[in-house]
Amino acid sequence: MTANKVEVDVVVIGSGAGGGAAIQALGPLVHAGKKVLLLEKGPRFDHTQFSGQELDMAGTLYAAGGGFPTADRAITLAFAEGLGGSTLVYTGTSVRPPRRVIDGWKVPGLEYRDLVHRLARFERQNGVDFVPDAKINDNNRLFAEGCRKLGWTPEQFAVNLRGCRGSSLCNLGCPNGAKQGTAYVQIPMAERAGVEVVTRARVLRVAPAPAGPTGGQGGVLDVEVDGTPVPMGAPSTWAPGRWIVQAKDVIVACGAVHTPALLLRSGLGATLPALGRWWTCQPAHILVGEHDRPLTNAVGHPKSFLWEERIVEDRYFLEACMYFPFVTAKNLTGFGPEHERLLKAYERLQMILVLACDDALPDQRVAIDAAGDPVVHYRLTDATVTAMVKATRAAARIFFAAGAKAVHAPSARPTLLTRDEQDRIDERVHERHFHRGAVSVSAAHLMGGCRMGEDTATAVTTPLGQVHGVPWLHVADASLFRTALEINPYLTVMALAEHVADAVSRKHGVDPEAARA
């Protein structure tokens, strides 16, 4: 069967925070007569299709239903597949990166002041603001109250919402279209500028364009368009089958799992020793505290407060959170009567998300299997286990200070702590009870694998996101990060992606800042 062929000036692969920001930044190229294309592996969804049914939506929106496993199957990774990427299922948390982290990367030309300038523009576009006090639900209010009673200072998240009705369904796709992800802001802006967007298009590999009178510049993408009927999401605008896309510049923004995998499938590992390596994330698990009364957790925004006073010294932070019954059950260690009793108390459970900031190490990496699919080799270090145990102790103190009568702590034996054990938290919650693979750990903030830098031994791209030795190939997502960011990375990803896309625009003769003026 003959493949369809398309020629464009620039193609972006992926539509999450990185791809969405990059494709919007490239809109002015269309006005300059260039052809710009966005390819997304997942479908285009309409927000009215988001039912809020946990198992249905998790299976539809998330890779592997939200349980993409690491190689040792001890940790699950959560990332979405669809137009908008993981901005479909995040809570809209909009946090600026710590200056110490960006400065610590020591990437020439990457200035914190420039990133903040870009971040501020995305904050305005996405309607970033704080949830009003009147709409703070019990779960978030109790988190803040518990912190303050302990003499700790909780901080409120800014979130990117417009017209939020308080359904609390952020992680399952907002049914009201209130969450301002890339599918609702940046990608429509790019489409209005004339960018073509094609969904259900999986890029199998990229390669240099063949040499010849008209070739030899740019790259060629081998693309497979899926025409299999699905219960949700629009069909692709391209006919099913194989497509060959030739582009003068290619920007890969498939995320910290799929971007390294695509480059490895394309044979770039032989010349890029850092490819896939220095991968990291923020390992997390949910803790619950049982109260005597029902809590209003299933209304309002699920995540409004965090506590991060120990992030520098002890490498962890805490967030108020709300998850649905299946994910909550998955995070409760153990089986039998105690597990069942806590689930029956679901409406009385306060929840806190424990997150650790792990180091980026060269042996923590993304590889590919025989079929070319990604395999993530990541294991919790002893230091990260210690951070998660310390975080669990802090969360337990917040629960009890907020009035909980019992706390489920995965790194305690037995796992249930009662009020009369508050003075024994450090003794009861301990590293000796944290058994890798037995404690349910997941991660959503995935980073690294194509880190930026000038040294080709330890970096995959230049400071402008260009893959070393491949002038037509660029990366614009969280895989560029040199270390864990310590906070929700999505705004930083957008700023970095625009930084990369602007360099590509200049290659094509367009001044991006003048175009945005």
Q: What is the pLDDT of residues 135-182, one digit of tens each?
A: 899 999 999 999 999 999 999 999 999 988 888 889 999 999 999 999
Query: Is the pLDDT score of 76 beyond 80?
Result: yes
Position 172 scores a pLDDT of 92
146-155, 161-170, 365-374, 425-434: lowest mean pLDDT where? 161-170
Task: Kindly state the average pLDDT of the residues 337-361.
Answer: 92
Determine the 3-state secondary structure of 204 from DSSP.
Answer: strand
Position 444 scores a pLDDT of 86
Among 501, 11, 496, 493, residue whose Cα is nearest residue 249? 11
b/e per residue 464-500 (b: at least 16 CB within 10 A): bbbbbebebbbbbbbbbbbbbbbbbbbbbbbbbbbbb
7-21, 199-213, 340-354, 391-405: lowest mean pLDDT where? 199-213
Contact 69, 79 (CB under 8 A): no
pLDDT bracket for residue 371 (50, 70, 90): very high
Sign of dihedral through CA atoms 256, 260, 261, 262? Answer: positive
Task: Kindly state the average pLDDT of the residues 388-412.
Answer: 97
Query: Is the pLDDT score of 211 beyond 90?
Result: no
Residue 515 CB: number of other CB atoms within 10 A? 17
Contact 480, 450 (CB under 8 A): yes
Query: Is the pLDDT score of 214 beyond 70?
Result: no
List beta partners, residue 202.
224
pLDDT bracket for residue 1 (50, 70, 90): low
Position 436 scores a pLDDT of 85
Query: How far is Cα 94 from Cα 92, in angstroms, rounded to an integer?
Result: 6
Please, what is the average pLDDT of the chain?
Answer: 94
Q: What is the pLDDT of residues 302-311, one digit of tens each?
A: 889 999 999 9
Secondary structure (DSSP) of 184-203: TTHHHHHHHHT-EEE-SEEE
Task: Kindly state the average pLDDT of the residues 248-254.
Answer: 98
Q: What is the pLDDT of residues 443-477, one digit of tens each?
A: 989 999 999 999 999 999 999 999 999 999 999 99
Could you give the percent of the chain with pLDDT greater than 90?
Answer: 85
Higher pLDDT: 42 or 325? It is: 42
pLDDT bracket for residue 337 (50, 70, 90): confident
Could you give the percent of the chain with pLDDT greater than 70?
Answer: 99
Residue 210 CB: number of other CB atoms within 10 A? 10
Tokens matching residue 427: 């003794």
Query: Is the pLDDT score of 517 beyond 80?
Result: no
pLDDT bracket for residue 216 (50, 70, 90): low
Task: Kindly state the average pLDDT of the residues 9-19.
Answer: 98
pLDDT bracket for residue 338 (50, 70, 90): confident
Query: Is the pLDDT score of 284 beyond 80?
Result: yes
Largest CA distance in the chain: 81
Q: What residue ranges define each of the domains in the chain, with the CATH number in brackets?
A: 1-127+162-280+446-517 (3.50.50.60), 131-158+284-357+381-435 (3.30.410)
Can you list the positions of beta strands (E) in 62-198? 68-69, 75-77, 128-130, 155-156, 158-160, 196-198
Would you call the peptide bond into 414 cis, given omega within 30 degrees of 0 as the criterion?
yes
